[in-house]
Amino acid sequence: MKLYRDSRGGFSERTQVLLGIAGHRGEIECVCFMPLGLRRLRLDPTEHAGPFSLGCLSITSLGLADQFILTLRGIYRRTRHRLSPLYWQLRGVANRPLLQPYQRIVDYRDWVNSVEPTEDDCDRMAMKAAKEEGPTFSIVMPVYNPELAQLIEAIASVMAQTYPHWELCICDDASTEPDVWTQISELAEREPRLKVQRHVVNGGIARASSAALTSATGDYIAFLDQDDTLARWALDRMARALRQFPEAALLYSDEDKIDENGQRCEPHFKPAWNPDLLHSINYFGHMLVVRRDVVEAVGGFRAGFDGSQDYDLVLRCVDAIRPDQIVHVPGVLYHWRKSHGSTAQVLGAKAGAHPSGIAALSEHMAPIGAHVSDGPFPTSYRVRYPMPSPAPLVSIMIPTRDGGDALERCIDSILRRTLYPAYEILIIDNQCADPRTLSLLSRYQLDRRVRVISYDAPFNFSAVNNLGAKEAIGDVLLMLNDDVEVLTGDWLNEMVPRLYQPGVGAVGAKLMYPDGRIQHAGVILGVGGVAGHSHKYYPRHHLGYFGRLVLPQTVSAVTGACLLVKKADYLALGGLDEVNLAVAFNDVDFCLRLAERKLRTVWTPYAELLHFESLSRGQEDTPEKRLRFAAEVQYMKTRWRDLLLHDRSYNPCLTLEHEDLSLSLEAPHYLQLDAR
């Protein structure tokens, strides 16, 4: 539930107030500041079907004292990202509070001015491109009764490209507004690179796109909606990416939106190729470029998938090419207009789009027997993969040292809630001496599903798990901390089938603090120097950055507090690194070594656990622990130096200072970014 305020620049995500989140039950009371000059308020009650009611709403004028306090607070919020590092450096990192704000507010317009090409840069690009040969881009645009000014702006954005080797293929799908075809025809007479045709009878967006595609003669096909615009340097950046990756067959860029007042907002900075995210949502979005022979080979657009015709096309294209032929071009190259009836304005605005997307993904998943259903929000999907038959035995390895009540909570939650039929619990006793814990171990050994083995040496998380792997009977290993609690009964039913998908090496789960805030939603490389947890401290039911907190996705690593892996893969890698990474980062290192063997790591939000973090081993609060931690940090920086700065599941325009996926204040200029 969001409240939007318009005081001068129209409605935008930058000025929205989050009133409530999905899954909340009961009343919400919220006091929020309304700026002077307030013109309009807009309430978006929900992005899902469901009842709600609005109670008392009052707007009260503030006195001078309250205005002064709020002004000071606003100044602090705008400057704290600069002051906070210095403050906590002076106080010491150990004093940093657990509660941190999520999603720093960075003025997107100011940020754009610091990273995007200037007019002078564009003029230089145009002069250079005019002298060079390069691929030709055929831009496909289906048209039906657009707002004329927006259509003209869309076409003008193509004609203004710094890259000259393009053609714009337009099909007017029998627009009933006569000025539409008149305007298109007049522009085509002045610009020979415009190829236009007109349907007599409206056939839908898929048919119109197919018709426009028949006019294409370029090497690559790009797609543009009738009311959207391209950045002036969009095709130049794509051509540059093709020089970097000449075998690329599918390329996509980052994007943002244009609000009702013509202001750019809501930038979406995407990861590199992420197959699991694509099976959750069409994150490719715009700008999309596909090699023409690939489009033709898969049959182009198909009837019956209107609204999701592009998703249907890309799913068939990725099946026809290699993963290394899919290239992400960082930087906003496409501006998606939030016009009335557009899904840029309201998710699910096009009624037929979501069923068409489910149909396309279901057909894509049919060969492996996966079932596709609605995802957590409109335009998203959930894939349930088939369970291997018979279900493999999972050995749940739980190291403990005097875990006591935490260990009991962990084990009992597994035994009481787990629906998966085949598992054993392997408790690894690391020099337990507490009578309470010893009594628990004796009691659990009476359960046929539980075994206890001894590790009689100083704590070494890697060595403890390596011992567990040798003793485990199961074909699948689950590293699990003794300070977690299982919340969802089908957690292993979700994780195990994902592990058995081609190319998957590890699977991780969604972990939360006891107060419900997110503790782990996948690892981001480079945060804080080595790695951090995505979306840390977000509310449990928050959608996250463009849905990333509620959608399964490929990540660079997951935490060893809950990490599922096949025993054969674990042993082939030699297990965790017990020499260089006894305590910290061994899980990250393990996932990166899996990636070296072409095995990816997947994080899923559909397996949920509470994590009472570091109850068993404590914090890095002694000189010996700090020295060991510093050595582990240095090892990671030496071993994985390049990857730590270029996480393919992240984006170079997002911050490495925090775990909130906010804009990077040190983001490189777009022209310095390479495709990946």
Domains annotated for the chain, with CATH where assigned, are: 64-95 (no CATH), 119-346 (3.90.550.10), 394-522+557-645 (3.90.550.10)
pLDDT computed for residue 99 by the predictor: 38
Residue 73 — φ and ψ, nearest 5°? Answer: -65, -40
Cβ-Cβ contacts under 8 Å for 125 (sequence gap 6 or more): 117, 162, 163, 233, 236
pLDDT computed for residue 49 by the predictor: 63
pLDDT computed for residue 91 by the predictor: 46
CA dist., res. 7 & res. 313, Å (int): 42
pLDDT computed for residue 98 by the predictor: 38
Q: Which of 623, 619, 568 is nearest to 597 (CA)?
A: 568
510, with CB counted inside 10 A (0-12, 13-18, 19+), is: buried
In order along the chain (676 residues), what is the average pLDDT of each group of 10 residues? Answer: 74 64 56 74 73 75 78 64 49 40 70 94 95 96 96 97 98 95 95 96 95 97 97 97 97 96 94 98 96 97 93 97 98 88 49 87 97 95 97 98 95 97 97 95 94 96 97 98 96 98 98 94 95 94 94 98 98 97 97 98 98 63 86 96 94 93 92 92
* Cα dihedral 115→117→119→121 (10° resolution): 130
DSSP 39-54: -EEEEE--SSS-----
pLDDT computed for residue 106 by the predictor: 76
Distance of CA 252 to CAs 162, 294, 330, 470, 490, Å?
Answer: 18, 15, 9, 44, 35
Distance of CA 277 to CAs 323, 547, 550, Å?
Answer: 14, 10, 11
Q: Which of 318, 310, 328 is nearest to 253 (CA)?
A: 328
537, 664 Cβ separation under 8 angstroms: no
Distance of CA 28 to CAs 1, 18, 21, 133, 544, Å?
Answer: 10, 11, 10, 60, 20
Beta bridge partners of 169: 140, 195
Q: Which of 342, 379, 338, 383 is nearest to 362 (CA)?
A: 383
Q: Give pTM, 2 decimals.
A: 0.84
270, 649 Cβ separation under 8 angstroms: no
CA dist., res. 585 & res. 210, Å (int): 50
